């Protein structure tokens, strides 16, 4: 397409300043606006908080007619429309929360040319009625563009999969002259490819922003017990600040929230099992009050625009790097210093692996989920810059100013000590093998450290050649060894037997002494300080 005429670009800047109150474009916004305002297609990959909305709002206002925005969540649409109306932009939405009369009124406004932006849920957009409306609007020149927000919903492998998104190719087929812009904050290569293919965006210009969030400090700790005590330690550094604590399950959410409240933290629970009113009230409180800690499952967060979230803590292991990055991206949207803290333990890995293995999904999907979990474990156990590892996953070649690192993650700030774990790994793996690959880490550690428990007696495990060969390390250090072996794929959780660990195809090289291993030294557990808290 031709360059946007000078006066259009000026007009865009005027709108940006006068209507939206921003002095200048951010990142690639200007180029994206230009591309779409000129009638071209675009695929926009930008992190949460990067400023995606303006990329379709401005072109919609600049072009003749109304921009049609496909958005998966009603709550998200309503927030956007409300925000736009407050700025004086003519916006509306069509969704199941409107009665027929209200919907008819919006449709009339649209056909009359009285709307700049119309937000629609995908299933509504695809209805025969709406497609016919689109034909009429198109004839009258009332379709400025199609924006497909949260475009990763088209991906079958993501956790936000929405089958209707796949049918959105109809937009391109029926109205090929209307520009399309697809936007997402999920940028790993497989998802990107799937979006391009499923939405027929092969010819669209791709705008890939850096996903770096330099103001977020990343930190990973290894769980000591349930992890609540460590979480409380972490929260002490954030007193009076707003933040989100993500937990694995509804039950965990409730128990963690309860323990935080007992310890004097202003915490509220949020998960899909709570009554709608409670959820809405807690969310409102989090958005409006200062210093609320929301303890939540991942049901919480999509579309939450609170700029001063100072931390996002994961008290259990998330399922994938993409999910983790999206969740932590909710911290520090105002650009101020923020922390992303994650605690995980061997139990988390075993739980998640078992969940995948026992799930109903196809083998291909299970394998994909295992790979995603492995990537995340690799991140957790990495001794190099966390930011580099995260951005690398999104295909970004990050080189920081601090010896290649970012200078703002735990590994950059306090480089971890490592030790040669080759011998320890051999002992651990041969112990797994000697007792038939049927036992969990706790029992294996009892054998290695030469305990004399009932279970050891019962199985006669004190006669194994591996009994008491690991007394040079204590139980905590052994847990670290097992955790890192699982993370490295040298041991795996048995899907059939709860907690049991077994060897993998790659264990043999270690057992034969052909592969050397370097482990991260486990930090000494911190002494309890001040009043004791339950953990």
Q: How far is the CB of 409 from Zn ion (least distance, A)?
A: 3
Q: How far is the CB of 187 from Zn ion (least distance, A)?
A: 20
Element containing residue 132 per DSSP (H, E): helix 128-139
Q: Looking at 247-308, which runs of residues are DSSP E strands? A: 267-270, 293-296
23 phi and psi angles, rounded to 5 deg: -70, -30
CA–CA separation, 125 and 132 (whole Å): 10
Give yes or no for a contact between 85 and 135, defined as CB atoms under 8 angstroms apart.
Answer: no
Burial-class residue 38 by CB neighbours within 10 Å (0-12, 13-18, 19+).
middle
Tracing tokens 């925000």 back to the chain, one arrives at: 83
Considering the complex, state which of residue 183 and residue 517 has its C-beta at the smaller distance from ligand ADP: 183
Token digits for 59? 């072109």
DSSP structure class, residue 16: I
User: Does residue number 52 form part of the binding site for ligand ADP (CB under 6 A)?
Assistant: yes
Considering the complex, state which of residue 79 and residue 233 has its C-beta at the smaller distance from ligand ADP: 79
Give yes or no for a contact between 118 and 90, defined as CB atoms under 8 angstroms apart.
Answer: no
**Residues at the interface with Zn ion (CB under 5 A):** 385, 387, 405-406, 409, 412
Q: How far is the CB of 207 from ligand ADP (least distance, A)?
A: 12
CA–CA separation, 229 and 239 (whole Å): 15
Q: Which does 405 bind (CB under 5 to 8 A by kind): Zn ion, ligand ADP, none?
A: Zn ion
DSSP structure class, residue 15: I
Count, residues in the chain: 535
Q: How far is the CB of 116 from ligand ADP (least distance, A)?
A: 16
Site for ligand ADP in 27-46 (CB under 6 A): 29, 46
Q: Which does 406 bind (CB under 5 to 8 A by kind): ligand ADP, Zn ion, none?
A: Zn ion
The binding track of 173-212 with respect to ligand ADP, each residue x by CB under 6 A or -, is ----------------------------------------
Quick one: which segment of 18-26, 117-125, 166-174, 438-446 binds ligand ADP (CB under 6 A)?
A: 18-26
> Comparing C-alpha atoms, which of 93, 44, 99 is closest to residue 71?
93
Sequential DSSP letters for 37-71: HTT--EEEE--TTS--HHHHHHHHHHSSSEEEEE-
Considering the complex, state which of residue 20 and residue 157 has its C-beta at the smaller distance from ligand ADP: 20
Site for ligand ADP in 105-164 (CB under 6 A): none
> What is the SS3 assignment for 304?
coil
CA–CA separation, 515 and 274 (whole Å): 50
Considering the complex, state which of residue 286 and residue 341 has its C-beta at the smaller distance from Zn ion: 341
Q: Which does 22 bind (CB under 5 to 8 A by kind): Zn ion, ligand ADP, none?
A: ligand ADP
Quick one: which segment of 47-55, 311-319, 341-349, 388-396 binds ligand ADP (CB under 6 A)?
A: 47-55
Quick one: which segment of 19-27, 104-112, 202-210, 411-419 binds ligand ADP (CB under 6 A)?
A: 19-27
Taking the CA atoms of the chain, what radius of gyration do you get in angstroms? Answer: 26
User: Does residue number 53 form part of the binding site for ligand ADP (CB under 6 A)?
Assistant: yes
Q: Residue from 49, 72, 318, 421 that binds ligand ADP (CB under 6 A)?
A: 49
Give yes or no for a contact between 92 and 119, defined as CB atoms under 8 angstroms apart.
Answer: yes
The residue number with the shortest CB distance to ligand ADP is 51
DSSP structure class, residue 406: -
CA–CA separation, 303 and 283 (whole Å): 12
Q: How far is the CB of 386 from Zn ion (least distance, A)?
A: 5
Quick one: which segment of 48-56, 129-137, 239-247, 414-422 binds ligand ADP (CB under 6 A)?
A: 48-56
Q: Which does 29 bind (CB under 5 to 8 A by kind): Zn ion, ligand ADP, none?
A: ligand ADP
Q: Which does 80 bind (CB under 5 to 8 A by kind): Zn ion, ligand ADP, none?
A: none
User: Burial letters for 505-527: b for 16+ Cβ neighbours within 10 Å, e otherwise?
Assistant: eebeebbeeeeebebbebeeeee
Tracing tokens 């199985």 back to the chain, one arrives at: 459
Q: How far is the CB of 54 from ligand ADP (least distance, A)?
A: 5
Instruction: List helix spans (H) across 289-421.
Output: 321-328, 346-358, 363-381, 386-393, 410-413
Q: Residue from 12, 41, 45, 50 that binds ligand ADP (CB under 6 A)?
A: 50
Quick one: which segment of 22-30, 208-216, 231-239, 403-411 binds ligand ADP (CB under 6 A)?
A: 22-30
Q: Which does 385 bind (CB under 5 to 8 A by kind): ligand ADP, Zn ion, none?
A: Zn ion
Q: Residue from 33, 36, 42, 48 that binds ligand ADP (CB under 6 A)?
A: 48
Q: How far is the CB of 518 from Zn ion (least distance, A)?
A: 19
Q: Rounded to 5 degrees, what angle do the CA atoms 480, 533, 227 make?
A: 30
Tracing tokens 């290894």 back to the chain, one arrives at: 222
Tracing tokens 């009339």 back to the chain, one arrives at: 108
Q: Residue from 54, 195, 428, 473 that binds ligand ADP (CB under 6 A)?
A: 54
Site for ligand ADP in 64-103 (CB under 6 A): none
Q: Which does 305 bind (CB under 5 to 8 A by kind): Zn ion, ligand ADP, none?
A: ligand ADP
Residues near ligand ADP, by CB under 6 A = 22, 25-26, 29, 46, 48-54, 305
């Amino acid at each position: 397409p031709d360059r946007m005429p000078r006066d259009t670009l000026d007009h865009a800047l005027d709108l940006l300043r006068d209507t939206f109150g921003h002095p200048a474009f951010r990142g690639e916004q200007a180029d994206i606006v230009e591309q779409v305002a000129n009638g071209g297609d675009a695929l926009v990959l930008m992190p949460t908080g990067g400023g995606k909305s303006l990329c379709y709002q401005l072109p919609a206002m600049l072009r003749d007619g109304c921009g049609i925005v496909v958005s998966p969540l009603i709550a998200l649409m309503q927030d956007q429309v409300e925000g736009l109306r407050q700025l004086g932009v003519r916006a509306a939405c069509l969704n199941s929360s409107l009665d027929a009369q209200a919907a008819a009124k919006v449709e009339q406004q649209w056909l009359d040319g009285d709307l700049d932006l119309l937000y629609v849920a995908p299933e509504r957009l695809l209805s025969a009625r709406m497609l016919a409306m689109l034909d009429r609007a198109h004839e009258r020149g009332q379709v400025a563009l199609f924006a497909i927000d949260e475009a990763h919903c088209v991906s079958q492998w993501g956790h936000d999969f929405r089958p209707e998104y796949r049918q959105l190719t109809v937009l391109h087929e029926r109205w090929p002259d209307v520009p399309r812009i697809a936007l997402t904050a999920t940028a790993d290569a497989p998802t990107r490819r799937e979006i391009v293919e499923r939405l027929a965006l092969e010819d669209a210009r791709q705008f890939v922003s850096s996903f770096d969030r330099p103001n977020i400090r990343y930190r990973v700790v290894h769980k000591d017990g349930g992890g609540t005590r460590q979480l409380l330690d972490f929260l002490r550094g954030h007193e009076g600040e707003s933040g989100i604590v993500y937990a694995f399950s509804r039950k965990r959410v409730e128990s963690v929230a309860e323990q935080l409240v007992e310890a004097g933290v202003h915490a509220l629970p949020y998960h899909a099992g709570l009554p709608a009113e409670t959820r809405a009230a807690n969310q409102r409180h989090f958005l409006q009050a200062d210093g609320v800690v929301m303890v939540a499952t991942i049901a919480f967060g999509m579309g939450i625009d609170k700029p001063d979230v100072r931390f996002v803590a994961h008290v259990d292991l998330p399922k994938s790097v993409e999910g983790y990055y999206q969740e932590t991206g909710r911290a520090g949207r105002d650009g101020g210093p923020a922390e992303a803290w994650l605690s995980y333990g061997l139990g988390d890995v075993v739980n998640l692996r078992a969940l995948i293995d026992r799930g109903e999904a196809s083998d291909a999907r299970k394998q994909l989920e295992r790979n995603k979990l492995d990537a995340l474990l690799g991140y957790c156990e990495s001794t190099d810059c966390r930011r580099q590892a995260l951005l690398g996953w999104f295909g970004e070649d990050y080189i920081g100013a601090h010896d290649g690192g970012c200078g703002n993650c735990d590994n950059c700030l306090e480089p971890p000590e490592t030790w040669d774990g080759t011998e320890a790994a051999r002992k651990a793996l041969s112990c797994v093998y000697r007792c038939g690959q049927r036992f969990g880490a706790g029992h294996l550690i009892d054998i290695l450290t030469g305990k004399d428990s009932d279970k050891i007696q019962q199985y006669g495990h004190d006669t194994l050649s591996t009994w008491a060969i690991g007394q040079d390390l204590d139980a905590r250090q052994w847990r670290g060894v097992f955790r890192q072996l699982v993370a490295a794929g040298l041991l795996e959780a048995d899907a059939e037997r709860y907690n049991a660990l077994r060897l993998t195809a790659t264990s043999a090289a270690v057992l034969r002494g052909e592969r050397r291993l370097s482990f991260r030294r486990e930090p000494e557990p911190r002494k309890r300080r001040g009043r004791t808290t339950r953990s």
